[in-house]
Each structure stands twice: as structure tokens, then as C-alpha cells.
Amino acid sequence: MRALTATALAASFFLSPLFRPAQQRGVVLAFRNVDVFDGSRMIRRTSVLVRGGMIRAVGPNVEVPPSAEVIDGEGKTLLPGFFDAHTHLGETQGEQFLKDALDFGVTTELEMWGSRHSLALRKVAGGDTEMADLRLAGIGVTVPKGHPTQMGGSSFPTLSPGDDVQAFVDARIAEGSDYIKIMYEHAFPTVTKQQIEDVVAAAHRRNRLVVIHISNQSDARDAIEAGVDGLAHIFADSLPEQGFAEFAAQHHVFVIATLATLESITFAGAKPWWQDAPHLTPFITPSMRRSLELKFPPGFGAKLKLTNAEAAIGALHRVGVPILAGTDVPAPGTAHGLSVHRELELLVRSGLTPVEALASATFEPARAFGFYDRGRIAEGLRADLVLVNGDPTVDITATRDIVGVWKLGVRHQRPSK
Ligand SMILES: [Zn+2]
């Protein structure tokens, strides 16, 4: 272990749960008579005590100090704040996106390619109780003229043949990347399978995970074979081939589903789902609505079918591949925070039980990405919490009926639009 410098010690103190703004340190909260989804199972009619931004006790006999604000949970379910395991913040609206996310119960976003703007936000988002927390890939790995260089924005470094892969990966880690994202997309020039293997080796040497963009089954197979830790999308070009799911399971990958965006890409109906979600629509801001009303260009994804993606998620899930709820917001037709609720519903449609779908947005991403401070309701974890009416372990759409959102034990005032 490297010795900690005084500066590092000071920094770790300010990032630690011991350091909280005054209004958080004093807050004592108690949820009583509440059903708790703890990240993997339901605990009926119990109590949860929160102090100083952390969960201090869970159980039927929790002692509630007289100073506590007591919240009656009768008929309600308390859940860990949700993850969205595939998002983008862009270069200008990141802060607003993280606020939108929190409005809908998402307390942690995992960005899957970003800019210097998100690298800066990453430093403040953790302790800010008005926006979701953030972990990120930063600048990912692509080749000159590769995806997403066609999308414009600020220029960023790319990996050319013969470049030192370790130096490239180390530069990303030095910039602040929490994990490494590779773009493997044959609609454009793209990395070779050898380069994927080299990036995986370079990242693993530094204890960093590697996630990869793929958009078809054959690329998914290549990427898994090359040793990546996770797929950042499921494919929708074909039904899963015989043995694909078992192959993925043997290689211990996780899969971020992004069904919400695949639905938007393939949507041909008249009325998108969110127009029929009365618990959500009052909280949709004008900028979210613009994103929801955007459409992919005509013909984009013409060969894709949502049912292929759902079948693949179902098959992977049946053989034990961890499925993570992620949306790829703000792709056209999606919006930060809101789209997670649709993702959960589509995961249930793919064959996950509601309990498993809820785990895919809480415990599973925490486990896959190595967060030990969140994703569950248990003593000693961050009090990032969502309280909803009803029982989402029976009807997954109950996640939409949000009573309250807390980050670090501080109630987030959801603005009604
Ligand atoms: Zn993406």
C-alpha cells in the first residue's frame, strides 16, 4: 500500500461520511411501519433509522430518539436510491441532468463516455444533496474517425494503430476515469479485437473495469472473448444464438440493458409510454419533454427489434449473468431519471421478476462496479433512499409513485412542474 500524504488524508476526510454540511449532520430520520426492499429482498413492516447522512439501523425494534423526524411508511416501500448504469451528461447541461435524475429517485449515475465537464462535476456531485452522484468513464477508447467522433463536440484523444495502449489508458485514469469505456462499432472505423484485449490488460493492471459499446451479437461475442467486464448495451439485431448466454456466463460479464433507448430506436407506435404515466408527468420539465419528443433519424436501427433485445436479456438472466438497469439517456426519446422507470418495466417484460428488476437498479450495479457504500439498505451505508406508495416487488410500475427522495439523509424537494 502506498503511504497516504497529508493532502490525500485531508481530501479523504472531506469526502468521508464524517464531513457533512451542518444541516445534514444533525438530521435524524426514522421510517416506521415501512416495507423495505433492501437491494435483494423485501423486509415487511420494519423501521429504518438515519443519522448524519447514513443508515444507522434497520429492524423492527430500532430505538427512535425523540428528536427524530418520524415518517410513517404504512402502505409504502422504502428502496435504495436507484442507479442508472448508462448515461451521458454532454458538455453543457450535466448539472441539470443530475438534478432531473434525483427528481425521479436516481441517486447515482454511471456515465459511459463524457467530457471534461463531467470530470469536473464528478468532484462535487457526491456530497451535493440536490443532484445525483456520478461515476464516469471520462473520455473512452476509440480510433480516429471512430464512434462517437461523428457527433461533434470538443475533440478528444483517439487510439491509433501502434499507439502505446497502457499510456493511453493511464492518461484516462489520470484525468479521472473511474472505469474504461471502449467503443466497438463497425458502422465506423473501430478498434481491433487485439486492441480490445490490450485495453483490458492495461486497465486491469490498474484495477479498472472495462465496459464496451456494442450494437450487434457478433461484436458482443468478440468483446466478451477479448475479456471485457461488461457490455454497455444489449444487442437488438438478432435473437440470441444457441449458447450465447452460457458463453457470456462462463466469461463472467455483466450486461447493461439500455432497453429504454432500444425501445425509442425501434418505436413505431403513436403514443410513447411516458404520456400514460400520471405519477411521472407532473415532474417532466420542458427540457426533459424536448428530449422525450426527439426521434432517432428515419431508418436508424431499421434492422433492430426490441423483442430481440428482450429475448437476449431474458436468456442471459436465466443463466445468471448480472443484468444492470441503464438507459443511455439522453438519447432521443429518453430523459434522465424518468427513463429508469421504463427500463425497470422493460426488464420485467424480458423475464426478470420485479424483485430482480429492482436489484438491477440497486444491488447489482453496486456489486458490479464495486460500490460498498450504496445500493442496499443496511447499517453503515449512505442514506440515499426512495419512498414509494404501494409495492413495486408486486407491480414494478409502483416505482413511479414517488413519495420522497433522500440523498445522504436530506430530503430532496421535488419540484412539481
Ligand atoms: Zn451511451
Please write the tens of the pLDDT for every residue from 195-249. Answer: 999 999 999 999 999 999 999 999 999 999 999 999 999 999 999 999 999 999 9
Q: How far is the CA of 338 from the centre of ligand 1 (A)?
A: 16
Q: How far is CA 280 from CA 29, 70, 104, 184, 402, in A?
A: 26, 26, 8, 35, 9
Q: How far is the CA of 252 from the centre of ligand 1 (A)?
A: 22
Distance CA(343)–CA(350), nearest Å, equals 10
Q: How far is CA 111 from CA 35, 344, 345, 408, in A?
A: 31, 18, 22, 21
pLDDT averaged over the chain?
A: 93
Q: How far is the CA of 140 from the centre of ligand 1 (A)?
A: 11
**First CA to last CA across the chain, in angstroms?**
51
Q: How far is the CA of 88 from the centre of ligand 1 (A)?
A: 6
Nearest to 31 by CA among 15, 3, 7, 55: 55
Q: How far is the CA of 328 from the centre of ligand 1 (A)?
A: 5
Q: How far is the CA of 56 from the centre of ligand 1 (A)?
A: 36
Distance CA(354)–CA(255), nearest Å, equals 18
Q: How far is the CA of 39 from the centre of ligand 1 (A)?
A: 25
pLDDT in tens, 168-182: 999 999 999 999 999
Q: How far is the CA of 298 from the centre of ligand 1 (A)?
A: 20
**Cell output for 50:** 438515519
Q: How far is the CA of 153 from the centre of ligand 1 (A)?
A: 15
Q: How far is the CA of 42 from the centre of ligand 1 (A)?
A: 32
Q: How far is the CA of 385 from the centre of ligand 1 (A)?
A: 26
Q: How far is the CA of 181 from the centre of ligand 1 (A)?
A: 10
Q: Which residue has the higher pLDDT, 108 or 16?
A: 108
Examine the pLDDT at 12 and tell me if it is beyond 50.
Answer: no
Q: How far is the CA of 216 from the centre of ligand 1 (A)?
A: 15
Distance CA(234)–CA(256), nearest Å, equals 7
Q: How far is the CA of 15 from the centre of ligand 1 (A)?
A: 28
pTM of the model: 0.93
pLDDT category of residue 417 using cuts at 50, 70 and 90? low
Q: How far is the CA of 29 from the centre of ligand 1 (A)?
A: 37
